[in-house]
Structure 1
Amino acid sequence: MPTAEHEAVVRLFRERPDLAADLLVHSLDVELPDYDYAGIESADLTEVTPTERRSDSVVVFRRKHSDDDPKPVLGVIVEVQRGRDTDKLWSWPMYLTSLRARLECPAVLLVICPNAPAAHWCSRPIDLGHPGLVLTPLVVGPTEVPLVTDPVRAAEDVELAVLSVIHHADTPQGPEILGALFTALHNLDNDQASMYADMVRAALSQEVWDHLEKQLKAENYEYLSDWARDNIARGKAEGKAEGRAEGKAEAILEVLSARDIEVPDSFRDKIRKCDDLDRLDAWIRVAATIESVDALLGEDL
């Protein structure tokens, strides 16, 4: 199952497809064809095979023509990879050939790896068997992602700044990188800034986040403005509320299990998805006496 970190990185490319160009050109020294704009397209790369194949994201660079629709000049398969996955040795070549055939233009594979061991594994050439036909993925790992510590640079490329936090949060420069990002976010509209802040919070472990916040407070970084404090506090409050709801839901299920009351999967899912603390408290109180899950939930379902 994709992690929050995985989903955060994928969303960065959806928010700004040109991030793929930044990484290819500036981090990997790949020369791109002339293009007018980049956009996200369908990541479904299934052909006639029965197994569905879907990459994390597909960025297509297009060039405008006076009389025709914009023509694709380069397709980029974007994959986020945290560790070894031998299935990718078979699916990645298929992704490329499928996209190349669909667009009728060159295609490249760009793999984003938040940790060095994954980057090392993913960068190995994949021998396809045909003489001379070898796929070497273009890999962006911690070494290739810059340390964005300047708030001005972070403001110029917010998505790259977010990626920098995700890749380098646990380094000595982590607090400075996060401080630069939050200073930059302070200049965005509240909804957009909150979106990026939420992406960072979701991508980082609680341990790393707590360490970064402690360091930032100790060093009085400018990011600790009213906006940032409010958003961080809100995020923590939401996280704590969500944690309390999950705990109460599990308590209900444990009581029912101890009393040998059968709980269908559909009911179990709805109990776990409930975020109304008062309702969960009410269910806890009656879980010890009811005879069936129907009596517990009544008409709520």
Structure 2
Amino acid sequence: MVSAPHEAMHRVFQEYPGLFTRLSDVLGLQLPPVASAKPLTVDLTENEPLERRVDTLLRIETQGDGPFLLVVEAQGKRDPGKTASWPYYVTYLNNKYRLPVLLLVICQDHATATWAARPLTIGLPQWQTVTTRPLVAGPHNMPVITDVAEARKDLALATLSAITHADNPDVDAILKTMSVALRDTPESIAEPLVELIAQGLGNRPAAQQWRNLVAVDLSFYTSPLSEEIRDEGRAQSRAEDVLLILGVRGIDITDEIREKVTACGDPELLRQWLARAALAATAGEVFGEECSVDPGTAAPR
């Protein structure tokens, strides 16, 4: 199953194709200025039962050396299958489009980055017929951006940097820098970046830190993440109201019910419980028979 961090690591290039111009400088790759970038289909499937898809594929137009194809692969861990698929991508695309192909791999940990950077060879030990050399970006070579002015100079690059440094001990400082840098940015620009960072952090502890920062520093935005955070806050408040009304009215509830109410994230269900709590005589009338009170386990009021 494709993970959220996997999607964020390559989708940022779909949202901001020009990002590769600045990234190539960071990685020490000397290229002529990029004039434009055009997304291409990522489906490399032929008329065979085997399906092959790259993560992101862009046609890059330069101002000097002509166009080339940029394949962006997000790699979360070692995958022996890439030894065959990556050379296939490069040779297939070169044959289909008759253009040079550059394979860029984005990683979030040093071990995977080291593995991904190894040349992939096809041929005999005495003579390698095909060699594929991925260009790798990861925590080993991406800048750690903790300066707001630097982040604002290139928000897309700063976003990719935050994603690749998701496991960095200083990730809190990196995320705080991004939240401040995005604070005065138009919502149409900031919204996709907010979402990409959230995706890139996945279920890491830093993900909650980012949610907290979005809730405070970017509370005026209406991005899906911002709205989700606000919904969670409203649900928590309503859950507290349900328990408060039950306590004031002297209705005993079990620890199980208390936990059920606190953990509920369904605003409509909480609204129903709140309305019932104002009139019900027992907890069973509020939550249904499955949550009826066991007198032996009722929590003290």
Quote how far apart the aligned CAs of 1:232 are.
7.1
Matched, 1:166 2:163: yes
1:32 maps to which residue?
A: 31
Aligned to 2:8: 8
**Residue 207 (structure 1) aligns with:** 205
Between 39-48 and 74-83, report the one with greater CA deviation: 39-48
Q: Compute the displacement of 1:137 (Å).
A: 1.4
Partner of 2:284: none
* Secondary structure, aligned partner of 1:146: coil
Q: CA RMSD in A?
A: 3.8
Give the Å deviation of 1:46: 2.3
- Using the size of structure 1 for normalisation, the TM-score is 0.68
What does 1:254-293 correspond to in 2, within 5 Å? 277-278=268-269
Amino acid aligned to 1:25: D
Which deviations, in whole Å up to 9, do the C-alpha atoms of 1:129-151 show, x marking residues without a partner?
16232212111111111111121
Q: Which has the larger Rg?
A: 2
Cα 1:235/1:165, change in 2 over 3 Å: farther
Which residue of structure 1 lines up, in the alignment, with residue 146 of structure 2? 149
Deviation at 1:92, TM superposition (A): 0.7
The answer to whether the Cα contact below 8 Å between 2:219 and 2:226 also exists between their aligned partners in 1 is no
- 5+ residue gaps, structure 1: 66-70, 218-222, 244-274, 289-301
Once residues 152 and 172 of structure 1 are traced to their aligned partners in structure 2, the CA distance between those partners, rounded to angstroms, is: 22
Letter matched to residue 217 of structure 2:
L
Give the partner amino acid of 2:170: Q
CA-to-aligned-CA distance 1:54-106 (integer Å, 9 cap, x gap): 100012112579xxxxx962111100001111111111111111111222121
- Pair 1:81 & 2:80 matched: no
CA offsets per residue over residues 108-155 of structure 1, 9 Å max, x none?
A: 111001111111111122111162322121111111111111212211
Letter in 2 for 1:210: Q
Partner SS state of residue 61, structure 2: strand
Structure 2, unmatched stretches of 5+, are 237-265, 274-286, 291-301
Equivalent position of 2:53 in the other structure: 54
CA distance in 2 between counterparts of 1:230 and 1:49 reads: 41
| Number of aligned residues | 245
Contact 2:183/2:217 (<8 A) preserved: no
State TM-score, norm by structure 2: 0.68
Q: Distance in 2 between matches of 1:4 and 1:230?
A: 17
More relative contact order in 1 or in 2 (CA 8 Å, sep 6+)? 2
User: Once the 2 structures are TM-superposed, how far is the Cα of residue 202 of structure 1 from its aligned partner?
Assistant: 3.0
Conserved 8 A contact 2:32-2:63: no
Task: Calculate percent identity across the aligned residue pairs.
Answer: 30
Hey, what's the Cα distance between the residues in 2 that align with 1:91 and 1:175? 36
